[in-house]
Structure 1
Amino acid sequence: MTVYTRYVALGDSQTEGLGDGDDVTGHRGWADRLAEHLAGANPDLLYANLAVRGRLAGQIRAEQLAPALALRPDLATVMAGMNDLIRPGCEPAAVAEVLEEMYAALTESGAHVVTVTFPDIGKIAPMARPLRPKVLDLNARIRAAAARHGVTVVDTFAMEFVTDARMWGTDRLHASPAGHARIAAAMAHSLGLPGSDDTWMLPFPSLPAAAAWRVAAAELRWFATFAGPWIGRRIRGRSSGDGRTAKRPELTPWTQPAAGVPARGPGSNDEVS
């Protein structure tokens, strides 16, 4: 088993940890949970989390890649692209090109890189069903780019549990605490960390089917509460990441709190990832 000493996470709100905590007490998220697991194997682990909510793949490359390389990680995670996919006119090929540039730069620096494919978001939010072809396209390109650079892929698209409502918060945009725990467990298993196993793949226990009227009412409520305001922010050119910085910009021991407090921007927890 490889013992990792310097872990750097790059990404957007999913990696920052939205859905697992809040802006007052702090966000935990799957990357923090993975760092905790890594520290179980190596108490001297150093960890940095450069992710900022709302960032597009190109912004992550522009803002986070150089700082990540400067930290000389031996392990890096890259989760990016969903904020691109939900915008009109997104070209999966262009997003994949940006991701591959990050994979290449990080692996060439000596880091082991782990990335992910994205779920069928139409099963999470039915109004997003038209985006399924783009998700399939991007996932295929992620797998191909990862293979070219020796990147480990946590490929969960076809797994039933990934689109279970219990994986996601009420906004359907960010993983729930249970969802973040599953993602961290998947990452740990992909790395062969001690104590990891494949139980993260198991489906959630079955729930009784909801009445059609309840489903319709939930869709309308979700649109009014989350989707509608999100569209409004896009029209105004606003993002929940405006004015924010990484919560953990430097490599520090896992047991040591990150220095400083992230800048609080005008947005709320409203980006997809």
Structure 2
Amino acid sequence: MTYARYVALGDSQTEGLGDGDDVLGHRGWADRLAEHLAAGNPGLLYANLAVRGKVAAQIRAEQLPVALELRPDLATVMAGMNDVIRPGFDAARVAADLEHMFVALTGVGTRVVTVTFPDIGRIAPLARPLLPRVLDLNARVREAAARHGVTLVDTFPDTAVTDARLWSADRLHASPAGHARFAAAVAYALELPGSDDGWALPLPVLPAPGPLRAAAAELRWVGSFAGPWIARRVRGRSSGDGRVCKRPALAPMADQSTSGRSGTS
């Protein structure tokens, strides 16, 4: 199938953090998927409504109405990880927000793609206690996707996606290689021309770091990334405060005026 109007909803992963920067702009897997789509249909129109730091309820309230007005024939919905890592996580509530988006979008004839989350404890060992939350949410997402005919990219069973080389230094956002892999996974799920299952192949094995090196890496991560994140939570702040999406309107991929940089309001 050829898609003409693609809208991406989500948080920082869909915005593209880890694949670029705030000065020159973020590319990310959704932009990469749009490029793949545009290769088969140069007339593709693409909007990216994602904003970093948003939880599922915010994406439903702020992005879904805009997406529906744009009447896409393809939409991707990635939401829930910001909920998983916050206190007071409620898997049923998050899944309900996701299912509401599935129902609304499929109800107007949109092909919807969503995702399960990987075992984040394999990416950031200090996050291992969050595994039950990830498992609970993933199970609910699978059920909701099946109920509404939503295409699911099920990343959890695939241990290749937790390779450290596919994640940026903060371990929260994919690296450029990780964004490229996930874009390829979505393209394969959509059976796009030129796609294949190579995205699931593991990278060449590297020697495991020694215990001292591993411990030092954990300490650096806590000081550089986990600590500042906790400080923002204590202050009631979010990385998305004051930010707007990078592509609020449907536009051709060649139009860079609405792409790249996520502005501030």
User: Secondary structure at 1:114's aligned position in 2?
Assistant: strand
CA contact (8 A) 1:11 1:80 kept: yes
Partner Cα distance (2:127, 2:114) in 1? 23
Partner residue in 1 for 2:55: 56
Partner residue in 2 for 1:241: 240
Partner Cα distance (1:173, 1:228) in 2? 13
TM-score by length of 2: 0.98
Partner Cα distance (2:153, 2:21) in 1? 26
* Letter in structure 2 aligned against 1:202: L
Q: State the 1:262 CA deviation.
A: 3.4
In the alignment, structure 1 residue 176 sits paired with structure 2 residue 175: yes
Partner residue in 2 for 1:262: 262
Partner Cα distance (1:258, 1:189) in 2? 29
Structure 2: runs of 5+ lacking an equivalent = none
- CA offsets 1:162-208 (integer angstroms, 9 cap, x no match): 11101100000100000000000000000111100000010011001
- CA offsets 1:104-144 (integer angstroms, 9 cap, x no match): 00000110000000010111111111110110010000000
CA contact (8 A) 1:96 1:141 kept: yes
Partner residue in 1 for 2:103: 104
CA contact (8 A) 1:15 1:79 kept: yes
Partner residue in 2 for 1:165: 164
TM-score by length of 1: 0.95
- 4+ residue runs of structure 1 moved beyond 4 angstroms? none
User: Secondary structure at 2:7's aligned position in 1?
Assistant: strand
* Letter in structure 1 aligned against 2:33: L
CA contact (8 A) 1:252 1:258 kept: no
* Letter in structure 2 aligned against 1:208: P
Identical positions, percent: 71
Q: How does 1:1-273 map to 2 (within 5 A)?
A: 2-259=1-258, 262-264=262-264
Q: State the 1:264 CA deviation.
A: 3.2
User: Secondary structure at 1:4's aligned position in 2?
Assistant: coil
Q: State the 1:93 CA deviation.
A: 1.0
User: Secondary structure at 1:252's aligned position in 2?
Assistant: strand
Partner Cα distance (2:54, 2:248) in 1? 16
User: Secondary structure at 1:115's aligned position in 2?
Assistant: strand
CA contact (8 A) 1:247 1:258 kept: no
Q: State the 1:254 CA deviation.
A: 1.1
* Letter in structure 1 aligned against 2:262: P
Partner Cα distance (2:87, 2:46) in 1? 35
* Letter in structure 2 aligned against 1:129: R
Partner residue in 2 for 1:269: none
CA contact (8 A) 1:53 1:241 kept: yes
Partner Cα distance (1:262, 1:88) in 2? 27
